[in-house]
Chains A and B, each alone.
Chain A
Amino acid sequence: MGAWALVGGWLRPQASVGKASPEQDVEILNFLLVLEEAQAAFYDAALRSGALGGDLLAFARTVAPHEREHVEFLRGKLGGRADAKPKLGFGRATSDANRFQAAAIDLEEATAAAYIGQGANLTREAVVDAARIVAVEARHAAWIRDLAGADPAPRAADPPRSAEDVLSELRQKGFLR
């Protein structure tokens, strides 16, 4: 892919966004909180299921507390303006190793792309926090892809995804009710 195609993807203005503001940060952080809640709940369910062993179990045991920390961190930032915990469900996604791998990749990829998608919309203060978290989500994505035999870093630059796109994927998969 040529450099211009990549740069062009980033520089394309996003339709639904206004100027960065603390009010807008609250909306965005609440959206990111949904994704962190979903990941935390998913890994907790997977650990409870007893379906994981070996490298996958080590992965889930390491990553689950990270996601819980992200939830706590975002809730702390939002204070009284944090939304209630969303209704989540993972059905058979945690019932065996293959389904777990596939769902973990989807969740980690969606979350990393969602943070990238909000990069231009957050205030500078919020970007400081988002940068510290999105790097860890990308590490998780690469790790689980490596364990699943998929390419850990499939592109030279990761593209953004919109909030609508990511939320509709989670709803369509039944993770978000």
Chain B
Amino acid sequence: MTDRPILTLEQIDRDEALLEAVAALHGNTRADFLRTAALGSGALLAALATPASAAAADRLTDVEILNFGLRFERLQATFYSEADSVGTVGKMAAPKQRWAEVLGAHERAHVRIIKKILGDKAGKRPFFDYHGVTESEDGFTRTAVAMEDLTVALLAGVTPQVHDRKLTAALFGLLTTEARHAAWARNIVKTTPAARAFDEPQSLDNVRAAVASTRFIVARPRMTRRHRGPRFTG
């Protein structure tokens, strides 16, 4: 159950400029899928239509890149954990339930892996508020598809930027897992799992801006609501 109406991309993108940009890059099927996407996922996917500034991450250290990766993996891990704890996952059909559970487990593992690599340089866990999208199957699914595609673009963008070559190989192993998630998610929503021959990278700055526009990361813990279970850490 949602506690507030979910804004859609169609509502904020009245002249359809964003949808046209998405259609140009990803095809009309994608744009149609996005038309009614919840605002959070719409903002994430709109980021995919923005050209990456490839050089932007050059000034970043490996620790900064990994800490942003950690933040993004936590955003995903908490998202799946919350959808599970509020009962959204449990109400879905069995194959889709399995998909959501596997993705959640993988994102939580990614958080552990990146934290382990960062050691005491790991940033603090932020607070999250998904504004109701974890509470409906539709909102959850659309946001999941958007997040997975955006993670692929983020990792494709930052992997060549890391300085430690061993990390490059490690990030490739995460990139392919996220690409599998994205393909699986897309197959579930009946859109093509592999739309193009090349996955286009996104800069860390663009992804950061996209995440900020979702307002999923908040300064303070969300007020507890009656129907919620315990908070999960990601």
| A interface with B by C-beta (< 8 Å) | 1, 3-4, 6-7, 10-11, 13, 20, 62-63, 65-66, 69-70, 73, 112, 115-117, 119-122, 124-125, 127-128, 130-143, 146, 151-153, 155-160
Contact = CB atoms under 8 A, between A and B. Distances in A.
B113 A134 contact: no
Contacts of B157: 131
A142 B173 CA distance: 14
Classify the secondary structure of B's interface with A. Answer: helix
Contact of A131 (B115, B156, B184): B156
B109 A157 contact: yes
A86 to B, nearest CB: 21
Interface of B: 54, 102-103, 105-106, 109-110, 112-113, 115-117, 152, 155-157, 159-160, 165-166, 168-184, 187, 192-194, 196-201
Contacts of A135: 152, 155-156, 175-176, 178-179, 199
Contacts of A141: 176, 180
Nearest to B194: A139
Given A7-B113, A116-B172, A128-B160, A138 B165 contact: no
Contact of B168 (A127, A139, A142, A153): A127
Classify the secondary structure of A's interface with B. Answer: helix
Contact of B110 (A115, A130, A156): A156
A133 B201 CA distance: 11
Nearest to B184: A152
B176 A156 contact: no
Given A139-B183, A142-B184, A134 B175 contact: yes
A3 B194 CA distance: 29
A10 B116 CA distance: 13
A156 B182 contact: no
